[in-house]
Structure 1
Amino acid sequence: MQTILWTCEQYLAGQLKEKSVFDSEEQAREFARKLNGVSPDIMLRIEAMPIQNVWN
């Protein structure tokens, strides 16, 4: 079984501002919902990522 982590990347003016890692898609989407209400000018990208791509 492969462990999957979820990343939420925050972009401002086309530049990566911050990248957060979560254990589940639900946690990543909840974080994005909260952030979207505070900073509507930030673009968010949520992506599934196998754990071996995050840590070697």
Structure 2
Amino acid sequence: MVEELNILFILVSGVYFTKYCRDMGLQVGLGGWVKNSRSGTVIGKIQGERKKVEQ
């Protein structure tokens, strides 16, 4: 099992990026979390098989 912490430094306001990440993670069988930060970036943790994480 692989666990990675990724921080994206992009402006994602109003585009439902966190929902998209959640939906895609569930679709391929990954666990973890994703949330918007106070600074306008997105932070998340992904857990799952390496080939699924790298997809």
TM over 0.5: no
TM-score, normalising length: structure 1: 0.35
Higher relative strand content: 1
Q: Which has the larger radius of gyration?
A: 1
